[in-house]
Chains A and B, each alone.
Chain A
Amino acid sequence: MINSIIRYTVIFVILIFLQVLLFNNIQFSGFINPYVYVMLILILPVEIPSWLLLIICFFSGLTVDLFNGTPGIHTSATVFSGFIRPYILRMISPRDGYEAGAVPSMVIYGFRWFLLYSGVMIFAHHFVLFYMEVFRFAEFFATLLRVILSTIFSTVFILLAEYYRRGR
C-alpha cells in the first residue's frame, strides 16, 4: 500500500515535470497541444474508491493549473475524466471481469484494449479542456479539430510511455 503510494507520487512528479518543461513548449501549427499528465489518471488501480479517484484528479488538475496559470481549466477536465473512468472501465471490461487489485495496463489486457481505453479517456479529457479554454461555441469545429489532433498526439505519447513502463 505504502509502496504503491510512493510509486504513484514519483510517477506524478515525473509527469508534471515532463508536462511543464517539455510538452507545454510544443507548438505545432496551433492545433496540437499534447497533455500527457492524464496518464496518471489512466494507470491508477481499477478498484480505487471513486471518491478518492475524484480527489486525486482534482489535485492533479489543480497542480497543472498552478504551473500553467489557468485556474480551473485543467481541474474541470481531470475531474470530469475521473468521473467517467469507472463507467468506461465497466463498459470495456474483459469477459471474465477484472481481478482483485488489477491495474489498467497494456501488459495485462493487451495493446488494443489499452488503446481503446486511453483513447476514449484522453478524448473526454481534451474535449472538456479545450472547450473550457476557449469558453465559447463560436468556431465549434476548429476547436473540435484541435481536440481530435491533440488527442491523437497525447495518446501516442502515453502509449510510448506505457510501453517504456512495461519494459521495467
Chain B
Amino acid sequence: MRNLLNFLARYNNLIIFLLLEGFAIYLAVQGNDYHNIRLAKGMRLMTLGVEKNIAKTRTYFNLYSVNSKVAQENIDLRNHIEKMNRSADHLFISYTDSANNQQYTYTSAEVINNSTNRQKNFFTINKGKKQGIDVDMAVISPDGVAGIIVSSSENFSVGMSLLNIDFHLSARIKSNGYFGSVTWDGRDYRFAYLNEIPLHVLINKGDTVLTTGYSSIFPKGVLVGIIDSYEKAGGDFYKVKILLTTDFRKIDYVSIAGNLRRLEQTELEKPYK
C-alpha cells in the first residue's frame, strides 16, 4: 500500500497529465465524427450569446453589399417569374397539383458563426428543427454551394462547410458534362479541387463547374466555381483547380435546400451500394 502511495506521489504529475490528455483526446475523437457532433452542438449553445452579438455587428457592417445583392436577386427572380408566366401561357399548361412537382423546399437563413481558417470548418445558422431544417440538407449561398447541414437543434443548425477536408461533392464541368468529386485541400479558402476527370477530356480555363444532383442532397445545376488551372495527378486523371464562386469569408445569408424525395431515392439505391 505504501509503495502504491509512493508511486502515486512520485508520478502524480504524469498521471494527471495522462488523465487530462486522455479526456481531451476522447473529446476530440468523439466530436470530430462527421455525423456525431452532438457534443459540439451542446458546447456551441453555451457560447451562442457571444457569437450572436459578434454576428450582429458583422451583419451591420455588411449591410451595403447585402442590400445590393438582394436587389440584384430580386431582379433575377422577377425576370424568372416573367419568363415562366410567358412559357406557361404559350404552352397552355393547366396547374393541377403543384405539390407533386416540387422536389426541393427552400428556406432562407443567416449564418451566425463561421470559420475558414481551419482544416475542418463548420458554420452555424439561425434556423433549426422548428423551421424544418434537418441533417443532410444542402446549404447554398447566393453565389453557389456552401455546405451540408450535419446537425440541428430546435432553433439552430451546424453545417459542414465546403472548406472541410472531409467534404465531398459530386460536380460536373458544364461544357462537356464530365463529372468528378470536389474536395478541399485545407489550404486556400478560395480554391477547391475537382478530381477524377479523365485525361482525354478537353478542359478549358474559365469553364463553369456545377453540381450533378447524384448525391440526392444538392439540387442539380448549382454553381460551384470556375476552372482556374489543371494538372495531371498520378494515374490517368486530371486534378482541376476550381476558383470557388462563394466567398466563404463574406458568407452571410444562405438558403437551405431540402430534397423531399431524398428518402425514396436512398431507399431504392440501398441494395446496390
> Could you list which residues of chain A lie within 8 angstroms of chain B, going by C-beta atoms?
20-21, 24-27, 29-31, 33, 50-51, 54-55, 57-58, 61, 65-73, 75-76, 79-80, 82-83, 86, 132-135, 139, 142
A117 to B117 CA separation, bound complex (whole angstroms):
27
Q: Hey, which chain B residues are within 8 Å of A79, CB to CB?
A: 17, 20-21, 24
Cβ-defined contact, A71 with B25, below 8 A: no
Q: B92 to nearest A CB, angstroms? A: 54
Given contacts A54-B13, A66-B47, contact A71 B30 (CB under 8 A): yes
Complex Cα spacing A83 to B24, Å: 14
Q: For this complex, into which size category does the number of interface residues on chain B fall?
A: 35 or more
The complex places the Cα of A142 from the Cα of B165 at a distance, in Å, of 14
CB-defined A-B contacts under 8 Å, sample of 8: A20-B50, A21-B54, A51-B13, A66-B43, A66-B47, A69-B124, A70-B28, A135-B28
Chain A residue contacts of B23, Cβ below 8 A = 72, 75
Interface of A is mostly: helix
Q: Select the stretch in B68-76, B131-139, B183-191, B231-239 that faces chain A.
A: B183-191
Min Cβ gap B35→A in Å is: 15
Bound Cα distance from A167 to B154, whole angstroms: 50
Nearest to B13 among chain A residues (CB) is A50
Interface of B is mostly: helix
What's the least CB distance linking A92 to chain B, in Å? 19
Are A67 and B50 neighbours in the complex by a CB distance under 8 Å? Answer: yes
B27 CB within 8 Å of chain A: yes
B32 CB–A CB distance under 8 Å: yes
B residues near A, CB below 8 A? Answer: 12-14, 16-17, 20-21, 23-32, 39-40, 43-44, 46-47, 50-51, 54, 113, 115-120, 122, 124, 158, 165, 186-189, 249
Q: Is the CB of B43 within 8 A of A69?
A: yes
A58 touches B115 (CB 8 A): no
**B-side contacts of A67, CB under 8 Å:** 47, 50-51
**Contact at B31–A70, with CB atoms within 8 Å?**
yes
How far is B118's CA from A24's CA once the two chains are assembled, in angstroms? 9
Contact A71 B27 (CB under 8 A): yes
Whole-angstrom CA separation of A72 from B22 in the bound complex: 10
Name which residue of chain A comes closest to B17, CB basis.
A83
* Chain B: minimal CB distance from A13 (Å): 12
